[in-house]
Amino acid sequence: MQALLPQSWTRSGIRNPVYRSLPLPLSGATWVTYADLPDDYSLSRVNGDLDALFPEGFLVRGCSEKTAGILEQQGSVILRTGAEAVLHLQNGHFEKKSLQKLLQQAEKKGRVVEMPLDAGNRIRLRALQRQARHGSRPQLSHVFRTYPFEECRCFALLSRTDEWLAAVTLTMRADFVAHTELMLKQAGSPPGIMELLLKGVFKRLREEGFCEWSLGEVPFYHLREQRLRRVRVEERMMAMTAELCRNAYDFRGLFYFKNKFRPEWRDVYLYSRRGISLLTLVDLAITTRYGELFAQGLLDAVTKPFFR
């Protein structure tokens, strides 16, 4: 099996690698957000490219421990940021009785269809983003692969009238290893809609011979567990901030939803070639819009008692 790429990085039939990066103004670091690589491009070659492009150092998020180890050099740092829920396609992840009952109720509401991401379907996908439960809140940036769509697959759950009730988009991190980018459903949609969509995608990927499918990262999950490994000061800070702002970003709800499928939980890391400071974390919070989301949550918590 190919080495697992960082989350949202992909391999395709292109001839030369394309790296997308963002400067982080406070810390002076460079964040390599996404990359499109040729099919046969190894992580050791990626390492050489990044050293040449960013000699002052760089950040990569969404790494597995093994991937971070391949990138590792003297002076580099890895920071655990959460955990991802991985489904093994040869296993039964939808056999739980309560889940089966929910799926039976939802099956009457629609059908799962893979949708080509042409211009019309991109418009429908963006409309679904606006109609989603948290569509009116600040949306995270550079965390999910929303652009470009060319390397994404899209599956939608369509109603009897072909209305988009829910959708997920996927990228491929290695041969027969899929990763979830967007997971959206209409606000007020019937119970079990997203579970039914995921079951349909799971079935399709298994038929195509896929080995693994990641439902994506739950940020801050596992950061407070100290039994398995030493916890860095920065990890403690992130965990404390997440607890204070959990009304703004419901990472616990995200964990409980993904955990119902009985996944394997794997730690996810932020890798830095030049160290990770408090300014680096502030930069990332601003650039990803986590900071804006937390601020909105705090504002809602303060003003809610006065506007009931």
Please report whether residue 19 resides in a domain.
yes
182: domain CATH number is 3.40.630.30
Same domain, 117 and 175: yes
Which positions of the chain have pLDDT values less than 50? Answer: 224, 226-227, 305-307
Q: Given this model, what pLDDT does residue 151 score?
A: 77
Among 186, 215, 244, give the residue marking a domain's end: 215
- Report if residue 1 sits inside a domain: no
Same domain, 94 and 208: yes
Pair 102, 150 in one domain = yes
In a domain, 5, yes or no: no
Is 2 a member of any domain?
no
pLDDT at 180: 96
Same domain flag for 78 and 103 = no
Predicted confidence at residue 202, as pLDDT, reads 97
| Domain match, 93 and 207 both | yes
Q: Is 303 exposed, middle or buried (0-12, 13-18, 19+ CB in 10 A)?
A: exposed
Q: What is the pLDDT of residue 299?
A: 58
pLDDT for residue 79: 87
Which pLDDT belongs to residue 3?
80
Helix (H) / strand (E) containing 305: none
Domain check: are 179 and 138 in the same one? yes
Go through the chain and tell me how many residues it has.
Answer: 308
Same domain, 111 and 195: yes
- Please indicate, yes or no, whether residues 23 and 43 belong to a single structural domain of this protein: yes
Together in a domain, 142 and 244? no
Task: Identify which of 6, 22, 55, 26 has the alpha carbon closest to the alpha carbon of residue 280.
Answer: 26
Distance separating alpha carbons of residues 128 and 125, to the nearest angstrom? 5
Give the residue from 215, 237, 264 where a domain finishes. 215
Please give the Cα distance from 172 to 158 (Å, whole number). Answer: 24
Q: Which of 185, 215, 245 is the last residue of a domain?
A: 215
Q: What pLDDT shows up at residue 244?
A: 53
Pairing of strands 18-24, 164-174: unpaired
Q: Are residues 249 and 265 in the same domain?
A: yes
Q: What pLDDT is stored for residue 70 in this prediction?
A: 86
Q: How many domains is the chain built from?
A: 2
At residue 7, the pLDDT reads 93
The answer to whether residue 37 is domain-embedded is: yes
Q: Tell me which H or E stretch contains 169.
A: strand 164-174
pLDDT at site 226: 47
Q: Give 148's contacts (C-beta < 8 A, 6+ positions apart).
A: none
The SS3 assignment for 200 reads helix
H helices within the chain, ranges in order? 43-53, 65-71, 97-106, 119-131, 193-207, 233-244, 251-259, 278-288, 290-303
Q: By residue range, what is the domain housing residue 59?
A: 10-83+218-306
Residue 273 belongs to a domain: yes
d(CA 45, CA 51): 10
238 and 196: one domain? no
Do residues 208 and 232 both lie within one domain?
A: no
pLDDT at 5: 93
pTM score? 0.85
Do residues 38 and 11 lie in contact, with contact meaning Cβ atoms separated by under 8 Å? yes
